[in-house]
């Protein structure tokens, strides 16, 4: 699962915040963190780490809302008094939260609230259990198709075919709906967005 999490995260955050200065690149990457990191733990089998928490792979600590909250508080404390970097890094826990929502992680309370419900993650063994993304099986196909279409719509909605907008997104992670003048963002608007 790739397109589903990236598209749903970008569209959800844009709909709620409509912040053209938000780092949507970091959000997109962070929306994949729970599956990537829990998947790596299961794949590589960090025996020491897995043994401590009773986790052998599959949905684990990064599919817990507690982990996302800890990351959020860690960023808030680490960036105290440094607002620009804080604003950028807040995309990480927000992306992780978005993953939990659109993965349906909340349907398994033991994992969602880990470690508040105990340190052992139920149903896991040394071979691991599948991630929620993998448990859906064939249902991932329509979700990925929907995600792909949503990304195509985002490309058009944010006019990313325009080179200046695309550079702004790739360089700073910013998306804007401001009107294009002569096929480009106005110089003032472009300057305001690149400075911050």
- Number of Cβ atoms within 10 Å of the Cβ of 68: 24
Averaged over 149-153, what is the pLDDT?
98
State residue 54's pLDDT score: 46
Whether the pLDDT of residue 33 is over 90: the answer is yes
* Higher pLDDT, residue 108 or 35: 35
* Distance in Å from the first CA to the final CA of the chain: 32
- The two structure tokens encoding residue 57: 């792979």
* Higher pLDDT, residue 121 or 142: 142
Question: Largest Cα–Cα distance in the chain?
Answer: 60
Averaged over 5-22, what is the pLDDT?
93
Residue 184, classed as helix, strand or coil, is strand
Q: Are 55 and 32 in contact (CB under 8 A)?
A: no
State residue 47's pLDDT score: 44
Q: Are 129 and 58 in contact (CB under 8 A)?
A: yes
Q: Are 68 and 100 in contact (CB under 8 A)?
A: yes
State residue 50's pLDDT score: 46
Whether the pLDDT of residue 145 is over 90: the answer is yes
* Higher pLDDT, residue 48 or 180: 180
- The two structure tokens encoding residue 124: 């896991």
- Identify which of 70-79, 160-169, 185-194 has the greatest average pLDDT: 70-79
Whether the pLDDT of residue 94 is over 50: the answer is yes
Counting beta carbons within 10 angstroms of the beta carbon of residue 139, is it exposed (0 to 12), middle (13 to 18) or buried (19 or more)? Answer: exposed
Q: What are φ and ψ of residue 18, in 5° steps?
A: 45, 45
State residue 177's pLDDT score: 84
- Number of Cβ atoms within 10 Å of the Cβ of 191: 10
- Number of Cβ atoms within 10 Å of the Cβ of 59: 31
Q: Are 85 and 106 in contact (CB under 8 A)?
A: no
State residue 48's pLDDT score: 42
Confidence of residue 194 (pLDDT cuts 50, 70, 90): low
Q: Are 176 and 184 in contact (CB under 8 A)?
A: no
Whether the pLDDT of residue 1 is over 90: the answer is no
Q: Are 144 and 1 in contact (CB under 8 A)?
A: yes
List for the chain the helix, strand, coil content (%; round to 5): 65, 0, 35
Q: What is the rounded CA–CA span in Å between residue 22 and residue 42?
A: 32
């Amino acid at each position: 699962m790739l397109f589903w999490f990236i598209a749903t995260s970008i569209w959800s955050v844009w709909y709620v915040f409509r912040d053209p200065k938000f780092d949507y690149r970091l959000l997109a990457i962070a929306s994949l963190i729970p599956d990537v990191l829990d998947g790596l733990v299961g794949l590589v089998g960090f025996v020491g780490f897995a043994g401590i928490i009773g986790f052998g792979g599959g949905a684990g600590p990064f599919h817990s809302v507690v982990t996302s909250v800890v990351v959020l508080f860690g960023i808030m404390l680490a960036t105290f008094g440094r607002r620009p970097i804080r604003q950028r890094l807040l995309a990480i826990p927000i992306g992780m939260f978005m993953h939990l929502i659109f993965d349906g992680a909340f349907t398994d309370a033991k994992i969602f609230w880990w470690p508040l419900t105990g340190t052992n993650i139920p149903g896991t063994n040394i071979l691991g259990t599948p991630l929620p993304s993998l448990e859906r099986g064939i249902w991932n196909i329509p979700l990925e198709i929907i995600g792909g279409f949503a990304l195509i719509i985002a490309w058009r909605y944010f006019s990313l075919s325009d080179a200046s907008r695309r550079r702004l997104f790739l360089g700073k992670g910013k998306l804007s709906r401001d009107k294009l003048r002569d096929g480009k963002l106005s110089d003032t608007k472009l300057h305001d967005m690149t400075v911050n």
